[in-house]
Structure 1
Amino acid sequence: MRGGSRRSGRAARKRRKKQESIVQTVSLCHQPQYVRLMKFLHQRGFTSSLLQPALFTDTGRGLQALKTIKPGQLIISLPESCLLTTSTVLDSYLGQYIKSWKPRLSPLLALCVFLVCERHRGEASDWFPYIDVLPMAYTCPAYFTDEVMAVLPTCVRRRAVEQREAVREIHSLNQDFVKSLQPILSQPVEEVLTYEALRWAWCSVNTRSVFMSHPSNSFLLGQDVYALAPFLDLLNHRPDVQVKASFNDVTRCYEIRSVSGTLCYQQAFINYGSHDNQRLMLEYGFVSPCNPHSVVYVDTGVLTDVLRGDRSLDQKIKFLRENNFLHNLTVSSEGPSWRLLTALRLLSLPQTLYHQWKAVLLGQVVCEDREEWSIQTAKTLCQRLLQDTHTALEKISHLLQQCDQPVREQLHVAMSLRQEERCILGSCLEALGDKLRQPEKLSSSQRDAS
């Protein structure tokens, strides 16, 4: 009886684990806002019999395949009339203000101001059916609170702060142009084109636009490659999926063609590019689990802190900086990158071997004991980064108990990033420990580098 009870418990746990791993899907196509969106697109020449909007338990909103999509099959062909581009903006009521303004505005700013003005117009806007399905807020660093910023890895925190400041600068530096738009607004301009509104528009363009090159014009300044693509922008990213995406100059449609195919009733994905999780979080506001492109970046500050006992450290760091060897120092699940290992080999050199600096940068290994020092230092770096990751996860756990929903969503993204880094650092430490335990692997790495 007791043994049977244990077996039943294990079976129940297995069933529960299997149920949890199954992705639940709820169709969104009957909800009023999506009915309006599809009607809006249909009037502009787009229909979709292959995909429908749906809510997935693992990724949130996405597109579900209604039929099995075969490799090479065209899954979306969105007419040019459905795309929101700078041409749309210049042909609108905003056109005269943008065309006459000096100095010229950037394409990004033109799109952002148009989105804010159209959202302000509400149902009177031609683009209301699309704007109505856009997220109300985003989990990009531009939205992060200082508490969330503080739990990010050092490298990504610096870039996150730069993103937040860049959006603030766009708002503050264009106040004169913003004020010129008062005649087309039904409320005071300072209540409509606020920093928060511009931040929402900036994140909408940055996270959802597709690449589409436009002819240069005399009204806007800078490269114009943005196009907001309703319905198409519901496609989520998966790093192992392959698609072909581009604007077809013959059909005048933006087309997505599947390379690998999708099973019926499964979520259809696209690939935003071979980005690591830091890049995905910065640009799109999410983290991809088990991302094969993900690495952990080693900040120069951590490097110098670990090696602070070396009296000639400043000179070595200066040499690495002059030779452009202090950025993209990373570790992956398989071990330290070539760039990091090369930098560590140089940092291992005593003064008597300074004449070999350039040879080391070209991949030459000095000797076995210096190689062992480099591997051991890489291990120390990983341990330091792992300690920082554990501390950050503890802080996140504490913050989650006392924050409201918007901050909670931001913290979950930061937590996902830290959890992925914890896995990478753990695997890297195992690989480095294996190398140190087996001297022949050190010799092998010397041969590989040579």
Structure 2
Amino acid sequence: MGHRGRRSRKKKKKRTPESQTLCHESIFVELRRWLKERGFRSKLLIPAHFSDTGRGLMATSPIAANEMLISLPEQCLLTTSTVLRSYLGEYIKRWQPPVSPLLALCAFLIAERHAGSLSKWKPYIDVLPQTYTCPAYFTDDVISLLPTGLRTKALDQRERVWELHSSAVAFFASLQPLLHEPAETVFSHDALRWAWCSVNTRTVYMKHPQSPYLSTEKDNYALAPYLDLLNHCPQVQVTAGFNQASRCYEIRSVQGCRKFHQAFICYGPHDNQRLLLDYGFVAPGNPHSVVYVDLGTLKLCLDDRDKQLPQKFLFLKEHDFLMNLTFGLDGPSWRLMTALRLLSLKPEQYASWKTVLLGAAVSKDREEGATQAALKLCKILLEESSMALKRLSLLKEGADSYLTEELSVVEFLRREEQVILGHSQKLLCLQRQPLPCQPSSEQNQAG
């Protein structure tokens, strides 16, 4: 029994990611002291570094199912109400047109970071990342390595930050009386990008009443010090929200957590493209991961001699069948195969268009045509992914630590893409049997 016990412990240790407590580090000592002054005294979770996820929170004792994971008092939360009560409040209240809730929070973070040791929020500012791996930070070279649809969204994100900064230059200049340096230096584009990413990647959802001093954009932001050290895990379930009775932001763990293991939360059922875009990371083993098929790629697998293609695309668009066309580990999605079935129909099968959208199969040869188109899509996407990985490998040579981190996230996404497409190829080939089907070299590489 003893021998089996040792083997069991060894196996268990091998499966459990290594962790190292960070409690002794000065920034976390100061953060805990600062939070204690504001009413947070729980010692159930402590900061630690984990070999698989980096910085996170570790349970110091077992957490039962549906037990409270963390309860953060309202005084610890950074919201627009906090900003309006601060020294920035009078400047925001008299500015016209009113600034957005997002800009108000960004301006406060920048001002507090600039204040340094004089900042009342210094313990929190000190634990925030110095930079992020969100697309807002990506260069053109890195963005060009992303899948087509994500590339467009990444460019949009980067452009939104530029536009926000450009539109706020005059407001930032009005804050000059608070500063010892030129406002354009303190509230630079780099500073706003850092603050924007801090807010967008770390806030929890908390609905606030409409302020007459802010624009009419929705104000659902709340930065939650310490709580935002909790990492995302797609398999975890939690309940979260602001408790009006206790005046605390509370998170309960549905499954619970073992002692000395990392405590996780779930941001939602997001695929890795969404996680990279919104939070700047990817999740290994994400069951929600898919490969998206954009319209341009979809057209590459079709017979351009089909004169009905424009009408077919219009029909699919009218019925919302040109969005969310994907491949997953379980093969092409129902929406994708339905779109391909309709696009493969012959002119004399016009009457079948509507029934195809309801899931009907028209004929054996049209099913074969849709499957062939799906296989062609796999091949096109795999080739595109392989080319991106080759260019990524070249960029890695001589890259600094920041660029290496960005490239590693993109590389993970691309390799996951190859695995998904490889599985989809195998499943589609099985559907075509007994017809011969030779896996491509990209599939073998993905496997």
TM-score by length of 2: 0.92
Question: Deviation of residue 322 (structure 1)?
Answer: 2.9
SS at match of 2:239: strand
Q: 2:381 aligns with which of 361, 385, 390?
A: 385
Query: Are residue 209 (structure 1) and residue 203 (structure 2) matched?
Result: yes
- Secondary structure in 1 aligned to 2:127? coil
Aligned counterpart, 1:291: 286
Q: Report the Cα distance in structure 1 between the residues aligned to 2:183 and 2:11, rounded to whole angstroms.
A: 53
How far 1:21 sits from its partner (Å)? Answer: 5.6
Letter in 1 for 2:277: L
Question: Which residue of structure 2 aligns with residue 186 of structure 1?
Answer: 180
Give, as a single letter, the amino acid of the residue that structure 2 aligns with 1:286: F
1:129 aligns with 2:93: no
Per-residue displacement from partner, 1:193-235 (whole Å, max 9, x unpaired)? Answer: 0000000000000000000001112111211100000000000
Given that 1:145 and 1:407 are in contact with CA atoms closer than 8 Å, whether structure 2 keeps it comes out as no
- 1:237-386 alignment runs, 5 A limit: 237-312=232-307, 313-386=309-382
**Pair 1:400–1:321, CA change in 2 (3 A):** same
Distance 1:284 1:73 in 2: 27
Cα displacement (A) at 1:308: 4.8
Deviations 1:406-426 (A, max 9, x none): 111000000111111111111
Q: Which moved more, 1:270-279 or 1:358-367?
A: 358-367
Q: How does 1:30-49 map to 2 (within 5 A)?
A: 30-49=24-43
CA distance in 2: counterparts of 1:224 and 1:373, whole angstroms: 49
Matches of 1:185 and 1:205, distance apart in 2: 22
Q: What residue in structure 2 maps to residue 13 of structure 1? A: none
Aligned counterpart, 2:222: 227
2:17 alignment counterpart: 23
137 and 17 in structure 1: CA distance in 2 versus 1, 3 angstrom threshold: farther
Opposite residue 257 of structure 1, the aligned amino acid is R
Which residue does 1:8 correspond to in 2? none
Q: Which amino acid aligns with 1:105?
A: V
User: Is 1:197 equivalent to 2:187 in the alignment?
Assistant: no
Q: Deviations over 1:360-403 (max 9, x none)?
A: 22222211110111011111101111111122122222211221
Preserved contact between residue 290 and residue 420 of structure 1 (Cα < 8 Å): no
Work out whether 1:89 is the aligned partner of 2:80.
no
Aligned-partner residue type, residue 244 of structure 2: D
SS at match of 1:64: strand
1:427 to 419, 423, 431: 423
Distance 2:434 2:169 in 1: 64
Q: Distance in 1 between matches of 2:359 and 2:334?
A: 9
Q: How many residues align?
A: 425
Whole-Å Cα distance in 2 between the matches of residues 322 and 86 of structure 1?
41
User: How far 1:321 moved relative to its partner?
Assistant: 2.2
- 1:444 maps to none
1:51 equivalenced with 2:45 (yes/no) = yes
Q: Secondary structure at the match of 2:198?
A: helix
TM-score, normalization: structure 1?
A: 0.92
Q: Are 2:175 and 1:169 aligned?
A: no
Structure 1 gaps of 5+ residues are 1-15, 440-450
1:160-213 Cα distance to aligned partner (Å, 9 max, x none)? 110000111100112111111111111100000000000000000000000000
Percent of matched pairs sharing the same residue: 55
Instruction: Indicate yes or no: 2:402 matched with 1:406.
Output: yes
SS in 2 for 1:132: helix
Residue 248 of structure 1 aligns to which amino acid in structure 2? N
Q: Which runs of 5+ in 2 are unaligned?
A: 1-9, 436-447
Q: How many angstroms apart in 2 are the aligned matches of 1:310 and 1:343?
A: 18
Distance 2:135 2:55 in 1: 21
Give 2:142's aligned residue: 148
